[in-house]
Structure 1
């Protein structure tokens, strides 16, 4: 596996894997800027996808679950700024009509199109502007499909402050991912959309296993504010244009790419100024390690301490202690470090406090906990909690 592709706004050009092409345009979902995107393959692609388990999953998720069940897709389309959730039968009809229009533009079966919709909940899609937009796109045909991954990532944004892309290579095949998401980030999975496109040739079983393994280790280890979205979707399309690859190497590269996108989302969390990474080791099993780590990364008191560069390890102990069902955790066997500085059970010396504050002022803060029970470990990702988060969400629909 090599990491010879990197997407940056500053200049590097990121292109689609072989056989994929993209489109973005303005469909009236927001006042200005592209808000509709399509990424398609010139041939059938093996696919895998995972979705939110929210009881209020939107029509886009319901429809996409059905279309993804066949493990073959040709395209993904995304509508930004409007989640089309809690919109009743009208929302269902509108989502289906968007899929029908995209399939018509591409000349593919409707069942081969996956749809994502993200943004405000409870508002119908503005079909009076969306449908004319698709009519104009159909008239332009293939000439309209000139968008690269960075263009698509920008068109998917809602409260994101920057687009999120990543790429990896495996042998002759390339893997390119685009994502959006900065708030309501808590599995299952987030108010996030992440799409991965590759020209690797893989079986449906290997692709599905690789995606689920990657999601469990990355997107499902991400939390910004503990809230679970109605619209989150992660999908991967593999069209085989570059030929077969080693499934194990592909799974490793896919997980690495998903971690890259996960960290980008954590750093861009609504109002975030710092990346917070919590690792719990010495656990009975992975599930226990993840539960404890999530209780720390989700704690508002821990997050505000990180924001203020306050090395208040008592708040970390509080967050661990909330796991009252984990009766095998013994406080005297637990250790806590901020970065490489131990803070519990032995209180740091007075002259270490200045070093702790400097550590907490960094753009990335690591909290490392050892439970003293076993060998299992888990790392979760989040961010600090600032006044900026409140400002973004207090005025979200107004």
Structure 2
């Protein structure tokens, strides 16, 4: 049974932005909610990012408005005005302050948002809000995703619901593609902000599909307090697990992906170095294509590790695919080609890398690089 957090409702419609699929959703809290958000560091950020930062700055939100099929990025002053118009239209329909609406847009870059289609779709939406509409919202925010990503968790009387979208142009930097987390727990904005940052760093910031940081990355959390207090340590633990689960789903559903790739790096001088090396592995086109082709060419991993900007003690390096060791303490193991070929036929590939005796460690997720990735992105605007 799916549980939904108290006081949150949503609805999703087709506004006709690009086609006849769901492309606009509103998520609403009955009361103003404590809120925190993190956004892309791409300097060509979308207009909704600029407005969203302003609106969440006071630590409170009451609604989220998201359109797919158009990112409202690189659209100049008109884009900023369109993002404001979207929040104003939604606020007027819901009877709340425009500053309490977080706008998000995702889709093609550089095309003006057809704002008149959105404003025409908003009147009457308040009557369509339902408590079980959140799963539809997860569908409405999709672009090249092949399935919606939605999860809920219970902590006593408290419920957390989370959704995410993302399939290509994925390597978040202090944010994710689009992710919205809703809870009826009572949590102060400052505590939410701290917990969200820690959770994002080990989840969404540890995933990459193609090494491109999107212009629209947003993750936001709203806590409306309608279920009362919660143990903050327990909440943070569940929140982190939820974010990791969604991050892995994004990697698994990478454009054209056939395999989820997990890279665990240990023995580094710091967690930051471990994450940087892990990311270099999952972003390497040579590694990604070898995994897609189920080619046991582990030398590509050694080459990528060796290209690290940080010093590596090569005689201390060990590499294994799950429990199949191919390189140990700076030396290749006996030929494991047959075992490795068999392992690479699975749809989840785990690569373990030990760099020595350091305390730094990180786990990152990505996917393989298939023919379909080129096809999807070669035809994205056509």
- TM-score bucket (shorter structure): over 0.9
The alignment status of 1:222 with 2:196, answered yes or no, reads no
What is the aligned partner in structure 2 of residue 342 from structure 1?
325
Cα shift at 1:168? 1.4
Q: 2:352 aligns with which of 368, 373, 379?
A: 368
**Segments of 4+ moved more than 2 angstroms:** 13-16, 141-147, 345-350
Q: Among 316, 339, 342, which residue is 1:333 paired with?
A: 316
C-alpha distance after superposition, 1:331-381 (max 9, x if no partner) = 11100001101101443434x322211111111001100000412210000
Residues 269 and 360 in structure 2, CA contact (< 8 A), matched pair in contact too: yes
Deviation of the 1:384 alpha carbon: 0.2
Does 2:137 align with 1:152?
yes
Distance in 2 separating the partners of 1:326 and 1:127: 47
Q: Return 5+ residue gaps in structure 1 as ranges.
A: 1-12
Q: Which residue of 1 aligns with 2:233?
A: 248
Q: Contact 2:93 / 2:124 at 8 angstroms: preserved in 1?
A: no
Change (3 A) 1:299 1:190: farther
> Please, which of 353, 371, 390 is the counterpart of residue 337 of structure 2?
353
CA-based RMSD: 1.4
Residue aligned with 1:81, SS: coil
Contact 1:16/1:148 (8 A) holds in 2: no
Give the deviation of 1:132 after TM superposition. 1.4
Describe how 1:60-79 pairs up with structure 2 within 5 A. Answer: 60-79=48-67
> Which of 269, 278, 283 is residue 293 of structure 1 equivalent to?
278
Judged with a 3 Å threshold, the aligned counterparts in structure 2 of structure 1 residues 236 and 220 are, in CA distance, closer, same or farther, namely same
Contact 1:14 1:150 in 2 (8 A): no
1:190 touches 1:228 (CA, 8 Å); kept in 2? no
Cα displacement string for residues 16-44 of structure 1 (whole angstroms, at most 9, x for unaligned residues):
30010011011111211211001110011
Query: Residues of 1 paired with 2:132 and 2:18: CA distance?
Result: 19
Structure 2 unmatched runs, 5+: none
Residue pair 2:4, 2:132 contacting (<8 A) in 1 also: no
Partners in 1 of 2:229 and 2:28 — Cα distance? 20
Q: Does 1:260 align with 2:245?
A: yes
The match for 1:314 among 299, 323, 344 is 299
Cross-structure match for 2:364 = 380
Q: Residues 1-398 of structure 1 correspond to what in structure 2 (within 5 A)?
A: 14-137=2-125, 141-145=126-130, 148-188=133-173, 192-323=177-308, 325-327=309-311, 329-345=312-328, 346-350=331-335, 352-398=336-382
TM-score if structure 2 supplies the norm length?
Answer: 0.97
Using a 3 Å threshold, how does the CA distance of structure 1 residues 176 and 157 change in structure 2: closer, same or farther? same
Indicate the SS of the match to 2:43. coil
Residues 1:99 and 1:228: Cα distance change in structure 2 (over 3 Å) = same
